Structure 1
Amino acid sequence: MSDFPSQPGTLQRTAQGFEGRLQRHYPHAPAALWAMLTEPAQMAKWLAPGAIDLRPGGAVRIDFADSGVVIDSTVTDLSPERVLEYSWSSGDQPARPLRWVLEPDADGTRLSLTVRLPADEDAAKACAGFEGHLDMLAAALEDVPVRFPLDLYLQARKHYQALLDA
């Protein structure tokens, strides 16, 4: 793990702020990825402890205890084993929609993650953080414990900042 992806994500400015798009292919069925995205015991292996009530309007709570960040939002789009969307926000914070899309293929599943952020946020930092978590997801799918890949994060942050500076 932790090599910077050969196909890193994209990041662009939009009228509302920023939009990042990250993609990965995993040699696992969509059901395995869906479990990692939605089941509390699986989420804790690669993202953080949390729970998602899998219905439109259902509660989303993810607790990053080490940083003090708690996500407390609701499901805004849901299609089991295919689409999950919620905001990476809490309370009266601005919306930061995350959209996870799973597409099966002959060799496993393509995961696409779209991250939308307000204009006053550090989009390079956010997308780099998700690069790290997607790397951790790959390890968790293989049942390999892994810590957050700081080196990958630092490389990814430079990549995303360069996209914004161009």
Structure 2
Amino acid sequence: MDGRVLQYEGRHVVSFERYLNHPVEKVWRAITSPDRIVNWLTAHAQFDLIVDGQITFRWENGDLVHGKFTKVNPPYELEYTWQEKTSGKSLVRWELSDYDEGCLVHLTHTFYESAIVADFLAGWHVHLEMLDMTLQEKHVDFPWERVKEMHEKYASVISEL
């Protein structure tokens, strides 16, 4: 359930694996439909879901991420670049696979420049929890306290690396 930080070719990779009790197709729709993304990522998304298609995430606080799709293989693989001011350019990869009655999600976020990895570990951890809530059709306000809690946890683990 918890995220991990891996080192790969000198880069930091944030990695999560989660089981969601929903079919792969339903999870795929949740990560590729702007009207669903806003519920769990809490960002407004605009994109053209094809390889080399542009993608933009815009949060209410003004944060902005730009990128482009590098892999689109419905409903199992999705990969896109992630460009923002604070972390530079990085790569987000979703791998979905059928598992029991649901879906195994493997999410990685690879950083090419230095980034505040604990922030991304905490953020993705909470956003994956929000994804599961969205798939269950439960609405909750974004849990900022949970982000702080997870940030403290991950920051202490990272300091030991």
Q: CA 1:37–1:97 in 2, change beyond 3 Å: closer, same or farther?
A: same
2:32 to 35, 38, 41: 38
> Aligned pair 1:49/2:44, yes or no?
yes
Which secondary structure state, in structure 2, belongs to the residue aligned with residue 134 of structure 1?
helix
State the superposition RMSD in angstroms. Answer: 1.8
C-alpha distance in structure 1 between counterparts of 2:114 and 2:73, whole Å: 31
C-alpha distance in structure 2 between counterparts of 1:162 and 1:17, whole Å: 20
Which deviates more from structure 2 when the two are superposed, residues 14-23 or residues 70-79? 14-23
Aligned residues: 158
> Aligned pair 1:58/2:72, yes or no?
no
- Once the two structures are TM-superposed, the CA of residue 157 in structure 1 deviates from its matched residue by 1.6
> Aligned pair 1:10/2:25, yes or no?
no
Q: Which residue of 2 aligns with 1:150?
A: 144
C-alpha distance in structure 2 between counterparts of 1:72 and 1:158, whole Å: 28
C-alpha distance in structure 2 between counterparts of 1:35 and 1:62, whole Å: 17
Contact 1:102 1:111 (C-alpha < 8 Å) held by counterparts: yes
Q: TM-score, normalised by structure 2?
A: 0.89
> Aligned pair 1:113/2:107, yes or no?
yes
Q: CA deviation digits over 1:72-96, x for unaligned, max 9?
A: 21001121110111122159x7321
Please list every run of 5 or more consecutive structure 2 residues that lacks an aligned counterpart in the other structure. none
- Once the two structures are TM-superposed, the CA of residue 136 in structure 1 deviates from its matched residue by 0.8
> Which structure's residues are more often strand, by fraction?
2
C-alpha distance in structure 2 between counterparts of 1:24 and 1:51, whole Å: 26
Q: Which residue of 1 aligns with 2:21?
A: 27
User: What amino acid is the match of 2:82?
Assistant: W
Q: TM-score, normalised by structure 1?
A: 0.86
C-alpha distance in structure 1 between counterparts of 2:28 and 2:45, whole Å: 15
Between the aligned residues of both structures, percent identity stands at 23
Contact 2:88 2:113 (C-alpha < 8 Å) held by counterparts: no
Contact 1:136 1:147 (C-alpha < 8 Å) held by counterparts: no
Which secondary structure state, in structure 1, belongs to the residue aligned with residue 89 of structure 2?
coil
Q: Which residue of 2 aligns with 1:98?
A: 92
Contact 1:17 1:119 (C-alpha < 8 Å) held by counterparts: yes
Q: CA deviation digits over 1:24-67, x for unaligned, max 9?
A: 1111111111111111111111111112312110111111122x
Please list every run of 5 or more consecutive structure 1 residues that lacks an aligned counterpart in the other structure. 1-6
Q: Which residue of 2 aligns with 1:131?
A: 125
User: What amino acid is the match of 1:128?
Assistant: A
Which secondary structure state, in structure 2, belongs to the residue aligned with residue 140 of structure 1?
helix
